[in-house]
Amino acid sequence: MDSDPRTLAANLVAPRPNPFAPLKTDTPKPAPVPEPETTKPAVAMTAQGLGLMLSSTIIGPSRRVARINGKTFEQGQTIEVLKDGQQISLTLSEVHARRVVLTKESSQVELTIPDPIQSKKIELTGKSN
């Protein structure tokens, strides 16, 4: 094996490059082209326009909680909504029995728990033995 030319060590002239270093390019980056100004339509600040649904509220002596779109939020927390490619941040400012108020700057959105009769859902009520 010592006499086989394929088993000889290679003579490296330069140290090996860092495989994690960013690639160096000699070409300058092109200047960014400004996009034409297009006004995105404003998202309707309503429960239906934002795609929000309130399913329950809990009011306790030390905290108030609401369940919106399957997630639980405490009063004062921020709710992030992605609608039509726009990120909208709303604050859960008030939690009441069966309704909440969300605010964004000076706009307010009120969500209410749908009445079972209006939602056309069947809900079972009664006493268990």
On whether the 47-113 domain is CATH 2.30.30, my answer is yes
pLDDT over 90 at 56, yes or no: yes
Q: What is the pLDDT of residues 18-36, one digit of tens each?
A: 777 776 766 666 777 777 6
pLDDT top residue among 109 and 2: 109
Average pLDDT, the chain: 80
- Per-residue pLDDT reduced to its tens digit, 71-112: 999 999 999 998 888 899 999 999 999 999 999 988 999 999
Q: How would DSSP label each residue in the chain? A: -TT-GGGSPP--SSPPPPTTSPPP-SSPPPPPPPPPP-PPPPPP-SHHHHT--EEEEEE-SS-EEEEETTEEEETT-EEEEEETTEEEEEEEEEEETTEEEEEETTEEEEEEPPPHHHHT---------
